[in-house]
Structure 1
């Protein structure tokens, strides 16, 4: 009878310990989920900022290309006029 009571107490203690360990694992899991969520949010913000920067650079490059094309066409016209002028003389 005494052994039976001791076994029940040991089993009860193990069950309490198991519940305590389960609670700790649940808490750790919740913390990990929160960290993952925060990390995802920070990464999304970072990628959005990066995307906006890239869009800005793309616009600047397009404008630079348009300016370059304009200047090249003006230079070509001036060279043509200079050739025509030198041919006339």
Structure 2
């Protein structure tokens, strides 16, 4: 091969290499944008999970208080029924 043909091949390879580099840069930019979007989504989900945890904590407290009230009223009802049973005998 002549030097001219080798230079033409090298130039063609250089052009192809530059195009591949440009495409990889575009792909890198897209991945960076996706990464930023995923980070934002993760933050939003963390905030929402925190809100849900607080809401469930509130429900747990209300449920526990309601259960204590039901237990208290049930015990009072049993005491009252025992008194009625004693008084009716």
Q: Secondary structure at the match of 1:16?
A: helix
Compute the displacement of 1:9 (Å): 2.3
Gaps of 5+ in 1: none
Normalised by the size of structure 2, how large is the TM-score? Answer: 0.85
Any idea what the Cα deviations from partners look like across 1:25-49, whole Å, max 9, x if unmatched?
A: 1101101211221121122112111
- RMSD of aligned alpha carbons: 1.4
Compute the displacement of 1:4 (Å): 3.0
Normalised by the size of structure 1, how large is the TM-score? Answer: 0.85
Q: Secondary structure at the match of 1:70?
A: helix
Gaps of 5+ in 2: none
Residue 80 (str. 1) matches residue 79 (str. 2): no
Flag as ranges the 4+ runs of structure 1 deviating above 4 A: none
